[in-house]
Amino acid sequence: MTLDKRLNAYRPDLADARLEGKVEASRFVKGEAGMVTAPVADLRPRPDLSAGIDTQLLFGEPLRIFERHGGWAWVQAEVDGYVGYMAEADLVSPAQQTTFWIIQPRTFLYPEPDMKRPRGAPLSLGSRIFPVVQVETRGTRYLTLAGGGSVIAAHCAPLGAPVSDDYVAIAARLLETPYLWGGKSAFGIDCSGLVQLSMMMAGKSAPRDSDMQAAGLGTEIGFDELRRGDLVFWKGHVAIMEDEETMIHANGHTMSVAREGLKAAVERIGYLYGKPTVCRRP
């Protein structure tokens, strides 16, 4: 299923205006612009806390709000087009124009520009902020946000500025991050979320789900051609090659982002899920 079809597939009564003329729908709405205000916002297939997480949106991430009801909002992420329900309390509209993003795996939002003050919300790699002033306290520089709070300036960079041109190095900084089905942050992440977040911070784009990544991310290569930065896919899983023999992946075996030998992984995973289905070079 392509991202453009997700909105129409889940809710044929609501479709993004950019799809008008491309899909059938009883009505089209443009929605309202919004942004995430929670450190991490869970996106679910239905407005129910017992429903599993499909993906997550990060602090400051832009979205379109199509419907609000009973404390839930039906939204579409602008970064990758994903749709679903999220808690209305986790967003705000209208959105601010964010100008910086977090480049460390994790940091804190302080109530004042002072690291000795009680810490506020934690922020993940890739979170977006709108600083209005830079302040220095005891030799440490902070960016003070328009909505209040301050972040260590060295943990931020202009929005879109790559952390590195090597997305594998970024993925390696997330080693030992807990595995979380549907997770897309440095607090908890799944296999395809690791690929998407690492590539985004390297200035590249990737679909959210492993099946979409396997279907069209980069070019297909042979298993014997694998090198650093290539992707190996199994049914429902993806791993990043760190070199010709070692891979990094968020996995349910260790329940973390971990290094594993490719040969050992093929043997272990094959017992339950079969051999790799495809290899791709982003």
SS3 call for 251: strand
CA distance 54 to 69: 20
Backbone angles phi, psi at 253, to 5 degrees: -75, -50
- In sequence order, the 6+-apart residues with CB closer than 8 A to the CB of 205 are 80, 199
Max Cα-Cα span within the chain: 60
Residue with tokens 């985004």: 200
The residues carrying an active-site annotation are: 191, 237, 249
| Three-class DSSP category at 99 | coil
Q: How many CB atoms lie within 10 A of CB 140?
A: 13
Q: Among 182, 204, 194, 222, which Cα is nearest to 54's?
A: 182
Sign of CA dihedral 213, 174, 268, 263: positive
Q: State how far the Cα of 75 lies from the Cα of 84, in Å rounded to an integer.
A: 6
Do strands 237-241 and 231-234 pair parallel, antiparallel, or not at all (unpaired)?
A: antiparallel
